[in-house]
Amino acid sequence: MLKDVTGVRPLDGYCLHIRFEDGVEGVVDLTEIISFRGVFAPLRDRTYFVQVYVDPEVGTLCWPNGADIDPDVLYALVAGEPISSFAQITQTAVPVAV
């Protein structure tokens, strides 16, 4: 799928209005997809959360600490499509020692 994010606007709570390169746009509530731990912990602070921006080099949402979200997951949520198999695999993959 891989559609780049071209615009983002913070809304109330932890919601973002997101626009993609193909014109699809909509609202995503990040409380439904992230747990605010690890690299996402600073996003709990609303002042930090609203510092979200689009990084044109990677085509997705980013925050100053380097946190970002897979644009395929965001697109699926906005477009009401199932999240791709690739996105599901990368979210659940565990490294295996050889």
Residue range of the domain that includes 14: 5-92
DSSP readout, 56-88?
TTTTEEE-TTS-B--HHHHHHHHHT-PPPHHHH
At 30-58, the pLDDT tens digits run 998 888 999 999 999 999 999 999 999 99
Domain count, the chain: 1
Distance between CA atoms of residues 47 and 81, nearest Å: 31
The answer as to whether 87 is a domain residue is: yes
What CATH number is given to the structural domain containing 86?
3.30.2020.10
At 49-85, the pLDDT tens digits run 999 999 999 999 999 999 999 999 999 999 988 876 5
The answer as to whether 98 is a domain residue is: no
Pairing mode, if any, of strands 5-10 and 15-20? antiparallel
